[in-house]
Amino acid sequence: MAAARLIAEEGLDYASAKRKAARQITGQARVAGEWLPDNDQIEEEIREYQSLFQADTQPAVLRRLREIAIEWMKRLAAFHPYLTGAVLNGTAGEHSDIHLQVFCDNPKEVAIYLLNINVQYDVSETRHFGGRGDVETLSFLWRAARDENPVGIHIALYDTDDLRGAVRADGRGRTARANLDAVEALLAGNGDAPLHN
């Protein structure tokens, strides 16, 4: 539950939360990976934590993040955008960012598109979902309205060929990413049910 609390309250990523929780509990700087919970276990703990301590705020935050994701997926429609991460799986909170993956023949076109609409971004790398190295990622803060806090948006740039292996379901039948239609269906009332192919 310690790692789940760190993710829900502080917005840490799974790996950082596991390490910090292990240090808090054991006092050791390093704990062997086999002693740490896997991401599925932590995700379930996050859901439990949110239902106990954030039930009055988390659903509205999640809805707003999904609305912003849909807005950006529509803007990026020419690049075959998919939503992934906590905003998709329903565990997003006030510190969560929106993670999109786009698939196109020329990833530089996405960068040019952002520059043309006056979005300044930082460039980094994200691990390829298939474990084949890293992919370039464009990140920026987006404020949908003047009175709202900015939201981090990360756009991972994939080749069109990567789309073929992108939407396979995991062992529990859930997909790790969803296209615009699937995200709109989530927002329309399917709640946080796991997505299936």
The span from the CA of 45 to the CA of 43, in Å, is 5
Query: Residue 94 is which amino acid?
Result: E
Q: Give CA angle at 174 (168, 176), nearest 5°.
A: 65
The per-residue pLDDT for range 160-173, each reduced to its tens digit, is 988 876 666 655 66
pLDDT value at residue 18: 73
The per-residue pLDDT for range 93-152, each reduced to its tens digit, is 988 999 999 999 998 999 999 999 999 999 999 999 888 899 999 999 999 788 888 999
The span from the CA of 62 to the CA of 197, in Å, is 22
Name the nearest CA neighbour of 84 among 7, 183, 196.
183
Query: Residue 147 is which amino acid?
Result: D
Q: Which structure tokens are listed for 67?
A: 């609305």
What sign does the dihedral 94-46-36-132 (CA atoms) show?
Answer: negative
